[in-house]
Amino acid sequence: MKLARLISGDNYKGEKHYLRNQRNYELAKTIILFVIAIGLFVAGLIINKGSKANIFTIVAVLGCLPASKCLVELIMFIRYKTCNDELSDKIEEASVGLIQAYDRVFTSKEKTHPIDHLVINNNSLCCYTSAKKFSEADFQKHIGVYLKAENIKDTTIKVFTDDKKYLERISNMSSDNNTEKDKDILNVLLSISL
């Protein structure tokens, strides 16, 4: 377990099994923060002979705020599943040298768009989702807004729900076509996703 990841998991976004691993860190962080808050409350009771009217109670209540925030984040991570091992192994073989990310969840005001894996190549974004109901048009519109805000234009976005077609598509992509713009697209996608 990496202690720095308890503070922030942003450096690990896009890694294989990110959602599953981050869920475990969020669980540990939530438990630690609630234990600290409860411990402070109990310490205040002991020190003040059962009276709740003390500074420890105030600090314990304020300590519940970050603990509750972590609990909400934990619930978000529990809701979504990571890309399965068998498929991720096939993806690893097919996407050697390509700019890629695993386990991205994009949220808009209207919908949530879970993406198991994505590849960016030559200003083209190819995504795979195992979600039963997925609106590609809404996803394209949502991502397009953020790319346009970063002055990244003419990006084609294609979402696959069939893993075989997705594997075929990414295996035909050439890692020689990666551009600086592709890295910019990845940075935008990582910054706007869970």
User: 112-121 and 124-128 as β-strands: parallel, antiparallel, unpaired?
Assistant: antiparallel
What's the half-sphere exposure (Cβ side, CA atoms, 13 Å) at 107? 7
Any idea which residue has 């200003």 for tokens?
123
Q: Are 121 and 177 in contact (CB under 8 A)?
A: yes
What pTM does this model have?
0.80
The pLDDT tens digits for 107-128 are 888 888 999 999 998 888 899 9
Q: What pLDDT, in 10s, does the model give residues 4-38?
A: 666 776 777 888 888 888 899 999 999 999 999 99
* pLDDT tens-digit readout, 80-105: 888 888 888 888 888 888 888 998 99
pLDDT for residue 67: 95
Burial class (CB in 10 A: 0-12, 13-18, 19+), 72: exposed
